[in-house]
C-alpha cells in the first residue's frame, strides 16, 4: 500500500505492476486498485497538515514483497513515500491461489 497526492500519480507505479501473464517478471502483483480520494492527517517536517491523497493497493506474496517495495520506491513521485505491507490473515482459497499463481517468478 502507498499513497500519492494526485489521482494520476499511482498509475505509473501500478501499470508495470499489472501483467496479464501468469508470472510477473518484476515480481509485482497481478492487479492494482487506486482508491480515493482519501483525506490524510499527518506530521511532516515538524508541522501538522492534512491533504487529499489517492491510495494504491496491491497484492503479492510475502516472498515477493521486497521486489514490489523496490518497484514502488523506484516509481513513486515522493522522496520518502509510505510503503507498507499488510498481511492477509485469511482469504478465499481461490483468491489466495490466484495471488500466488500470478506472482510466481518465471522459471
User: Hey, where are the domains in the chain?
Assistant: 2-101
pLDDT of residue 29 exceeding 50, the answer is yes
Query: Which has more confidence, 33 or 28?
Result: 33
> What is the spatial distance between Cα 91 and Cα 83, in angstroms, rounded to a whole number?
22
CA separation for the pair 67, 57 (Å, rounded): 15
The answer to whether the pTM exceeds 0.85 is no
List all residues 6 or more positions away from 86 whose beta carbon is below 8 Å from its beta carbon: 1
Q: What is the pLDDT of residue 22?
A: 38
Mean pLDDT (the chain, rounded): 79
**Fold of the domain spanning 2-101:** Alpha-Beta Plaits (3.30.70)
For residues 18-41, give the mean pLDDT: 67
Amino acid at each position: 500500500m502507498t499513497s500519492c497526492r494526485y489521482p494520476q500519480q499511482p498509475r505509473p507505479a501500478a501499470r508495470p505492476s499489472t501483467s496479464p501473464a501468469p508470472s510477473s517478471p518484476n515480481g509485482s502483483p497481478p492487479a492494482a486498485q487506486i482508491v480515493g480520494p482519501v483525506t490524510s492527517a499527518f506530521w511532516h517536517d515538524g508541522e501538522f497538515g492534512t491533504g487529499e491523497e489517492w491510495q494504491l493497493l496491491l497484492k503479492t506474496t510475502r516472498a515477493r514483497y521486497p521486489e514490489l517495495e523496490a518497484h514502488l520506491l523506484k516509481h513513486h513521485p515522493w522522496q520518502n513515500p509510505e510503503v507498507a505491507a499488510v498481511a492477509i490473515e485469511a482469504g478465499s482459497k481461490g483468491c489466495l491461489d490466484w495471488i500466488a499463481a500470478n506472482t510466481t517468478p518465471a522459471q
